[in-house]
Amino acid sequence: MRRGIAVRLSLSALLVTGTLVGTGAATATAGAEGSVAQPLSAGLLSALQRDLGLSPDEARTRLAQEADAAETEPAAREAAGDAYGGSWFDPARGTLVVAVTDTGRADDVHATGAEPRLVTHTDAELGATVTALDRLDAPASVASWRVDPRANSVVVTLVTGAERDAATEDFLAAARAAGPVTVSATTTRAPETFAAGTVGGDPWYTGNVRCSIGFSVHGGFVTAGHCGRAGQQAYGWDRSLIGQIQGSSWPGNDYAFVSVGNGWWTVPVVLGWGTVPDVLVRGSAEAPVGASICRSGSTTHWHCGTVLGKNETVNYSSGEVVHQLTRTSVCAEPGDSGGSYISGDQAQGVTSGGWGNCAGGGETWHQPVNEILGAYGLTLHTA
């Protein structure tokens, strides 16, 4: 019995410090220099091997290549100028690919270490198309839409098996009139948020909702906006008061800032849940499309996958629409909402929602952490 109590107390201490999950002292733009320079844990390599089918050596190589790609991206984007058509990480080549609409910019992009790819549409054109679609009224059969740099198009995802009624056809016609649009019908279920009813022993609660902590910032932590409203009290796994939700945006966005006090504190850590050692957060350099990414949450703990797309608008089954989310192949379940997405040691975002589960698979979306930091003027807590 005493052994069991000791284990529970050890876990609770991690939830109070590490799950207040955080990261260090960088600003919203901080982060490129940290990457995977620190020694990699065997647990992290094992998780990547399990979820991405990689050997330990392949996982080490991929993390190093992804860190290089993230560091190269800003210079490559600048080199492409107004011909920039987006970028992504190509795991087969182990390099950053940058789309350009002007062959004259290809050599400049190549000089940064990225591989140029000639396309028709600029990133600005594709972004304008997404903005136009955001103004439309999407029916329930439409799951999401996003810029896909590899397709050089805006991809509209439909729910497989959903009725292609007049409202769906009207939406698709208006979407195609707005710009370059491709239709995909690969989502088996409409996306949902991952909040849950109260379950004992979880990181934080508000009202009768359980969610997961995202990342520590100076003064508190960031999480999902659909977990609660500004002014509500936030409680820890043991139901003791953590603080108060200082700001919350939902729908349209899906993020919130919770103040921390009352004996709780923040640390630059993402909880590994025994699957991997707890991960120190060293910055928030954004991983490119195609890069590996892992998620920590209070229900399904630690899982990994890849970044599938960015700047995606998601039409949740409950009727709320959220913009500028990042799509991943990582699974999640109710209660994981608000939890951490991290690539190497770089904070990426907080869990918004998705479809499927961690038994049969699925996809999830996260709200990019740098957007949250900028919205509230927060500073990331980093190691």
Q: C-alpha dihedral over 356, 42, 63, 157, to 10 degrees?
A: 0
Active-site residue, selected from the candidate residues 337, 340, 343, 352 = 337
DSSP β-bridge partners for residue 221: 216, 258
Active-site residue, selected from the candidate residues 123, 254, 278, 345 = 254
Q: C-alpha dihedral over 300, 329, 80, 82, to 10 degrees?
A: -90
pLDDT given for residue 126 in this prediction: 97
Provide φ and ψ at 88, rounded to 5°: -160, 160
Flag whether pLDDT at 196 surpasses 80: no
Flag whether pLDDT at 194 surpasses 70: yes
CA of residue 215 relative to chain centroid, distance: 12
Which of these, 145, 192, 162, 151, lies nearest to 362 by C-alpha position? Answer: 192
Q: How much is the average pLDDT of 57-76?
A: 94
What region does 127 belong to: left with phi over 0, alpha with psi -120 to 50, or beta?
alpha
Question: Which contiguous run of DSSP H or E holds residue 87?
Answer: strand 84-90
Look up 226 and say whether it is catalytic: yes
Sign of the dihedral defined by the CA atoms of residues 189, 192, 198, 202, in that order: positive
pLDDT given for residue 227 in this prediction: 95
| Residue, of 314 and 187, whose pLDDT is higher | 314
CA of residue 362 relative to chain centroid, distance: 14
Active-site residue, selected from the candidate residues 121, 144, 148, 226 = 226
DSSP β-bridge partners for residue 273: 276
Q: State the chain's maximal CA–CA distance in angstroms.
A: 71
Look up 337 and say whether it is catalytic: yes
Tokens of residue 205, six digits: 């609660």
Flag whether pLDDT at 101 surpasses 90: yes
Look up 254 and say whether it is catalytic: yes
Q: What is the pLDDT of residues 319-374, one digit of tens each?
A: 999 999 999 999 999 999 999 999 999 999 999 999 999 999 999 999 999 999 99
Q: Does pTM top 0.85 for this prediction?
A: no
Flag whether pLDDT at 259 surpasses 50: yes
DSSP β-bridge partners for residue 209: 197, 206
Q: What is the pLDDT confidence band of residue 165, given thresholds at 50, 70 and 90?
A: confident
